[in-house]
């Protein structure tokens, strides 16, 4: 169970990261994630993310998706619906490897760099919901 305090901490720290997601942090996150995880890099490359323009596009999509999740943390039904929608799009492309989703969330926690316990609690809850829909 994610506490109200954890949700608030994640929302606060994400706001600081997200405000420059399109201009800086999104690509920076993807570069770090690809450097840290060859399987994630290879998965993205297999779906066409092979240059900086595509990486930026994917980073923006990821940031927007994550932002919608974080904004919905206080509305479990809305959050569940958003996660189900994201999983549905991944299933259409036969992307079902929970291990890759987990690594991405771990990389996100490291990238944000603060309030790791709160971020771990929130991302664990998101991953659990994702797993029920895969």
At 74 the three-state DSSP class reads coil
Cβ density class 52-90: b for 16+ within 10 Å, e for less: eeebbebbeebbeebbebbbbbeeeeebeebbeebbeeb
Does the predicted TM-score (pTM) go above 0.85?
yes
Q: Greater confidence, 84 or 1?
A: 84
Percentage of the chain with pLDDT > 90?
81
In this prediction, residue 52 carries a pLDDT of: 85
Per-residue model confidence (pLDDT) at position 21 = 97
Structurally, the chain folds into a number of domains equal to 1
Check which CATH number belongs to the domain holding 88 and give it: 1.10.490.10
| Whether residue 133 has pLDDT greater than 90 | no
Q: What is the mean pLDDT of the chain?
A: 94
Domain range for 82: 4-133
Specify the 3-state DSSP secondary structure of 134: coil
Report the distance separating Cα 27 and Cα 25, nearest Å.
6
Mean pLDDT value across residues 74-85: 95
Residue 23 confidence (pLDDT): 95
DSSP track, 79-100: HHHHHHHHHHHHHHTT---HHH
Predicted pLDDT at 127: 96
Residue 111 has pLDDT above 90, yes or no: yes
Note the pLDDT tens digit of each residue in 5-57.
999 999 999 999 999 999 999 999 999 999 999 999 998 888 888 888 988 99
Pick 71 or 97 by higher pLDDT: 71
Instruction: State the pLDDT at residue 1.
Output: 86
């Amino acid at each position: 169970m994610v506490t109200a305090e954890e949700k608030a901490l994640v929302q606060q720290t994400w706001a600081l990261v997200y405000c420059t997601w399109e201009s800086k942090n999104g690509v920076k996150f993807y570069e770090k994630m690809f450097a840290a995880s060859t399987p994630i890099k290879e998965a993205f490359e297999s779906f066409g993310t092979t240059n900086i323009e595509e990486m930026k596009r994917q980073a923006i999509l990821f940031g927007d998706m994550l932002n919608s999740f974080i904004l919905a943390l206080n509305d479990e039904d809305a959050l569940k619906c958003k996660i189900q929608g994201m999983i549905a799009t991944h299933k259409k492309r036969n992307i079902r490897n929970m291990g890759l989703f987990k690594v991405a969330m771990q990389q996100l926690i490291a990238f944000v760099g603060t309030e790791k316990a709160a971020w771990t609690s929130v991302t664990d809850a998101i991953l659990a919901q994702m797993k029920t829909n895969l």
